[in-house]
Structure 1
C-alpha cells in the first residue's frame, strides 16, 4: 500500500498471538513491512524505520522488539507525510507506541510538543506514567493538578515537554483557551485525540466537548499531523471521525485492525434473582483467575456488592462516581499491585485503566450496548494468554437503562429558553441561568456544552453568553440517534441470548472485517464456569439485599438568586428552621428493595396502599434509627399523585409505632405549582409557602414538645421535605425527622 498513490484506508485483519498480547502492545519480530505510508525516497523511508525501531526498542527495553502490522505505517504517515490518521485497534495493540515514537521522531526533527486530548484523569495518569517509563517527558493539565500549572507552563516555555495531555473540557476553559491554547497551536508538533469515539454522536461515550476538537484541527497549521485512536468504533463512528479529521479537505489515513482478542473467554450466566447473582459471586469469586473488575450498573449496587463481599472476607474495594478522587487513585493502585481481588465498579472505571494482567471481568447486569460492553471487557487479558469474562444479566437491566437514559442531545424547549436568556449578549453564570431555565445543573451544563460546540453560545470569564449565531433544532438528527440507542439495547439483549460465538457477535457489532468464531466462549467450547450457588452464599446475599435504611441528608443552603423567582431567602438555612437527617427505606437503584420501589414509582403504576412487606421494612428502619428522642407525632405530606400510598404509609407507621398521626399538612394555596423534576431553584419556588399546619397541630406541638416524623413517598430534590419541615418548625415542632419510601439516588 502506498498512500502517495491515493490509498487512504488500510484493513489489518491478522490475529495477534498471545505472546504479542503479553508484550504491552509491542510485537517481537513480526513480518512488518515499512516504507509504505510516507513521502520521500526509499532510502529515507528505510532510515526512518530504522530510527523508529531503535526508539521502540529503547522505550520497551527489548533489543528484538519490532512493530505490529500497522504501527509503523501510522508513524510514517504522521512523521513523513504529515497526515491526518485514524487508528482503530483493540486495547493492548499498542496505540500509545504510535504516538510516543512519532512524538520523539518529530521532536528530533525540531517539532514542538505533542498535544494529547484525553478524556479521563485515570487515563492521563496512566499515559503520563507510561511516558515516563519510556523516557518521554509528559505532563498533564487537568482539574486535579492546578497547583502544578505554573510549573508546567514554565516547562512548556522552556521546551522541556515532549507531550502535554489535556481534557476536552479544558479546551473550552476561558483561561486555558486564551492564555495557553494559542501558543500550543502555534508550537504543536502533533495533535493526538485519544478515545476518539467520544467525538461521535454515535459513540457510546459521546462527550460534547470532544466535538470542539474539529475547530481545533481547523486552527492547526497544515503541516501539523493529527492522530485519532480508539478501540471501540463501528463503521458509522469511523466515518464520523474521518469526516471531522478531514476538515479542510485533508485525506484521512485509516488503519483498522481486528478487534477481537484471543485471550478473552466470554460467557453468559442467567440467574433468576439479584440474590442468586450475588450468591454466585460469593461462591466463585476466589476461583476467578488473578484479580479483576466486577461491574455494576448503579452506584448503590456497586457499594452494596462491595460491602457484602468484604463482609465475607473477600479483599475488594468499591469504585464509583461517588468515590473520592484520592480514594479512586489508591483503589486503582491496589488493583494494579494485586493487593485486592477486585474493584467493584460502575462505568466510572473504564477508559484509561491499564492493567495488562487483569484476569477477569464480571458484570452484575448488562451495559446498554454491545460496544460499551466490549469497551469494558477489553480491560482484561491485555497481557495474559487467558482472561475470563462473564455476564450475569438481570431482569431489571432494561428498567435501569431507561432510568438512566439521558440524551446528550438538547431538547428543543430548554435549548430555546437558554438561548433566549443569553440573547442580549450579557454574561450569565450557570447558577443564574438555573433561576431562569428549569433544568437541573448537570443537564443544563450538558446543554450549554452542546450549544457552545454548535457555536450558539460561548463560555467566557464569569459564565456564558450568546454569540448571536443562528441555531435551529435538528430534530431529525436527534431522533436518529435516539433510535440508534434503542437498537443498541436490543443488540445487547441479543448478545445475551445468542447461540453463536459471543466474540464474533461483539466483533460484528463493531463492523470488524475479521469477525470469526473464537473457539473459546461458552457457546463455542461449552461452559467454563459453574452455575452452582452455595446455600450459605444465597442466605448471605439475601440478608444483604434485605438491608434497609438510607440517610436522607438535609438541605443546608438555599439556591442562589431565589429573589428572582419571588422567594425571599438566600444563604444558609437557619438551624431553627432546618430538617434533621432523615431516612429512606432504600434507593430506587438499590439491588434489593430497588426493584420493588421502581415498580411502585413506575410511570404506569397505579396508586395503591402500602403492602405489608414494605411496611415491615419501614418499621425496621425506624427501629434502627437511633434517635435521641422518640417522635411525638407523625405528619404526612399531602400527595396529589399517590395519596393512598402516602396516607396508608403514615397510618401504618403511626399504628405499628404507636405514635399519634396528626394527618397531612394543609394546602392553603392549592399545593405545589410545578411538577416533579427541574432544578433546585424552580423546585423550591414551586413549593414555597404552599404548606400549612392546622391550628390544632400547633397546639399539639406546644403541649407535646419533641421531634415530628414527616412522612412522604419519594425524595429527589428534597425541597418539598425542606419546605414542609420549615412550616412545621415555625409551628413549634422541636425538630423534624423526614422519612420516605424511596430516595432517587
Structure 2
C-alpha cells in the first residue's frame, strides 16, 4: 500500500472540494469537520468516529475520501451498511461523485459472482455489504480475506449498531471486531452515526481501536440540533381520538412524511383507515414484501403518497431531503431512537413538523419488546450443550427443537456466541468450537437497567415543560444542547387536540370493525423426530385447516386493547362478555366460507375454561349448530418457547371429545392463537374423526 504522508494538504483539499461539488452541487463547500475527517483518513490513515446529525454530510466524507484514495492507487472502500434502503441511496450518491459502487446483500444474490469479479478487476470503488454478510461462510472464507487485504478504506455506517448500549444494537455488527483486527497496518477506518451518547461513543471508540496499535481514534462530534424541526406532543384521550386527529390534521402537514407506529398490525390498520378517508398512503414494515418496500420508498421520494405508515423498519439511511413531517402514533421506548426517527425530516426544508401522539398501550408494547432481550444463562447453555453433544454441524432449524428459544431469539444467541468464539457458523449451519464461554450477567443486567432508564426518560420527555429539543440533545450528551425556541413548550403554541365528532366516529367505526384473517399452518416444524413426534413435511390436504378468523390481534390499535384486558394473566376467568360476543357474531356473519359449519368444537382451556366454553356454546346456539364438546388439552405446549417444543408438548396431550362424529364442517373455537400449533393439531384430530373441513375461530391472535 502506498502511504500519502507527503501529500500537499492544500492540493488535497482542492481535490476534495472538487469531488464534493460533483456530489452535492456547484455551491457545496466542505465543512471544517468534514475536511478534518477526510484529511485524517487520506493523509494520516487514521481511524475516526464522526457523530453528526442526519443530513450533515457524513456520506460525503467517505465518498470524497474514497475518490482521493483511489486516485492515489489504493484499493476499494468497503462500507458495512445495515439497510437495503441505505444501500440504494448510497449507490446513487456515489455515482454523482464519480465513484462506482456495488453491493452484496440478500436482495441481489444472483449478482454476487459478477460483483466479486468486478472488485477483483479493480472496477469497483466502493463495495457495500450488510453486516450479516460478514459471517456468511462462503463470503467470510472466500471473499473477505482478499477484500480485507486489498481494502483502501473501511467504513462502518450507523456505527451505534456496534454497541449493545446503542438503541438499535445488532449482533451481526459485533463481527466487525474480527474484521478490524485483521486489517493490514495503515488502512484507515471511518465510523459514522447520528445517534450516540457518551456511553456509546466510548464503546465504539474502544472497538475501533482493535488492531490499531497505540494510535488513538479521532472523534469528531458536532451539534445535533436541526433548526428546521418543530417538536410537539399532543395528548389525546383515546385511540379513536388519535386516529381522528390524524385524519383531520394530515392535510395541514407540509409536503409528504412518515407516520410511525410501534407494531406491524398498527401500521397496516392505520394505513387502511387513512386510505378509506381518501389519503394516498402505504404501510411499510419488516413484513412488507421487499419489492413493495422498494416501491413504497420510491413513491414517498417522488411525493406520490402523502405518507408512509411505518414501523422502525423505515429508519436509518432513508434519505428524502424535503420530508415535511414525522408523526408518531405511540412513543418509541428510547429518546435516542425517537431522535433517530425524527431525523428523517427537515434536511432540505426550512420547517418540518414533528408530532408525538402517545398512547396508553405504549408501555405494554415496550414490555413485550423487553421480553425478547438476551435470554438467561441456563437457556444459552442449552444451545452450547446441544451443539457440543451433537458433535457435528447443526442447522438452525435442526437446533431449534433442542432448545427453549424461538427461532428469532435463537439466531440472536448464535450470533453472539459466534462473535464470542464459542460457536462457529459454517456451511450448513453451526458447530461448537469447544472454547470456554462466560455468561456476562453483569453486563446484561446493566443493559437491562439502561433500557429501563431510557423508557423512563421517554415518559419524562412527554411530561417536560422545558424545551423538547434540548431534552433530546441532552439524552445524546450533546454539549451544545440549548433551548431551541421552536417547539411547543418554547413557543407556547401547540397543536389543537380538538377532534370533530365525524372524524372520531369514523375512526371508532374502523377500530371496532371486527375480524382478522387467520392463515392456516401448512408445514410441520423441522426436527420433530428428534423429539419423538412422527410429524414432518407438509401438512396433508386431509389434515389441514381452512383459513380461519380471529376477532382481533393483541397488537391491534382497535380491538387489541379490549382483548388484552380480557386475556391478561391477571384477568379473572369469566363468561364471554356480551359486547365481545356480539362482535364475534359479526365476524362469523361476514365470513365467506365455502361450506357452512354444522357443529362447534371448543378447545378446552385450563386457564380460561368459562370464557372458551361459553363462547363456543353461545356460538352454537345462535348459529343453530350442534355443540360437539371440547378437545381436552393435557400437554404443556403453551409453556414452550418455539414451534417444535410447543408441538411436542401438545402431541401427547390433546384428545377429542368421546364419541365425536361430525357430520359436516366444524367450527373450532379457542380464546387465543399464539404459535398456532394447538389449532393445527386439533384440526388434524377433528378431520381424522370425519370432519370434511375445520374452520378455526378465536378471540385473539398474538400478532
Q: Please, what TM-score do these two structures have when normalized by structure 1?
A: 0.92
Query: Please, which of 317, 337, 347 is the counterpart of residue 382 of structure 1?
Result: 347
Contact map agreement 2:328 2:355 (CA 8 A) in 1: yes
Aligned to 1:129: 92
The reply to whether residue 280 of structure 1 matches residue 238 of structure 2 is no
Query: Please, which of 148, 151, 163 is the counterpart of residue 114 of structure 2?
Result: 151
Aligned to 1:570: 536
Within 5 Å, give how 1:362-401 maps onto structure 2: 362-401=327-366
Displacement of 1:407 after TM fit? 4.3
Displacement of 1:39 after TM fit? 8.8
Aligned to 2:58: 95
Aligned to 2:422: 456
Within 5 Å, give how 1:237-636 maps onto structure 2: 237-248=200-211, 249=213, 250-424=215-389, 425-636=391-602
Distance in structure 2 (CA, Å) of the matches to 1:307 and 1:65 = 42
Residues 406 and 453 of structure 1, relative CA distance in 2, 3 Å threshold: farther
Contact map agreement 2:244 2:504 (CA 8 A) in 1: yes
Aligned to 1:736: 694
* Partner SS for 1:665: strand
Q: How many residue pairs end up in the alignment? A: 698
Per-residue deviation, residues 251-274 of structure 1 (Å, max 9, x unmatched): 100000001111100000000001
Displacement of 1:329 after TM fit? 0.4
Displacement of 1:653 after TM fit? 1.5
Contact map agreement 2:630 2:657 (CA 8 A) in 1: no
Within 5 Å, give how 1:111-190 maps onto structure 2: 111-190=74-153
Displacement of 1:404 after TM fit? 2.5
Aligned to 1:50: 14
The reply to whether residue 216 of structure 1 matches residue 179 of structure 2 is yes
Contact map agreement 1:293 1:342 (CA 8 A) in 2: yes
Distance in structure 1 (CA, Å) of the matches to 2:658 and 2:444 = 53
Contact map agreement 1:407 1:482 (CA 8 A) in 2: no
Per-residue deviation, residues 74-102 of structure 1 (Å, max 9, x unmatched): 00011111101000000000001100011
* Partner SS for 2:644: helix
Distance in structure 1 (CA, Å) of the matches to 2:208 and 2:657 = 67
Aligned to 1:8: none
Aligned to 1:23: none
Contact map agreement 1:408 1:446 (CA 8 A) in 2: no
Distance in structure 1 (CA, Å) of the matches to 2:307 and 2:143 = 40
Q: CA RMSD in A?
A: 1.4
Distance in structure 2 (CA, Å) of the matches to 1:257 and 1:87 = 8
Query: Please, which of 45, 50, 58 is the counterpart of residue 82 of structure 1?
Result: 45
**Which 10-residue stretch deviates more, 418-427 or 207-216?**
418-427
Displacement of 1:117 after TM fit? 0.3
Contact map agreement 1:504 1:518 (CA 8 A) in 2: yes
Distance in structure 2 (CA, Å) of the matches to 1:508 and 1:471 = 37
Contact map agreement 2:637 2:647 (CA 8 A) in 1: no
Query: Please, which of 190, 206, 224 is the counterpart of residue 169 of structure 2?
Result: 206
Contact map agreement 1:279 1:538 (CA 8 A) in 2: yes
Q: Which runs of 5+ in 1 are unaligned?
A: 1-37
**Which 10-residue stretch deviates more, 671-680 or 514-523?**
671-680
* Partner SS for 2:103: strand
Displacement of 1:634 after TM fit? 1.1
Distance in structure 1 (CA, Å) of the matches to 2:536 and 2:622 = 40
Per-residue deviation, residues 545-603 of structure 1 (Å, max 9, x unmatched): 00111111111111122111111121111111221111100000000010111122323
**Which 10-residue stretch deviates more, 148-157 or 217-226?**
148-157
Distance in structure 2 (CA, Å) of the matches to 1:271 and 1:69 = 45
Distance in structure 2 (CA, Å) of the matches to 1:411 and 1:386 = 47
Distance in structure 1 (CA, Å) of the matches to 2:157 and 2:428 = 30
Q: Which runs of 5+ in 2 are unaligned?
A: none
The reply to whether residue 654 of structure 1 matches residue 616 of structure 2 is no
Contact map agreement 1:306 1:317 (CA 8 A) in 2: yes
* Partner SS for 1:664: strand
Displacement of 1:415 after TM fit? 1.0
Distance in structure 1 (CA, Å) of the matches to 2:582 and 2:555 = 20
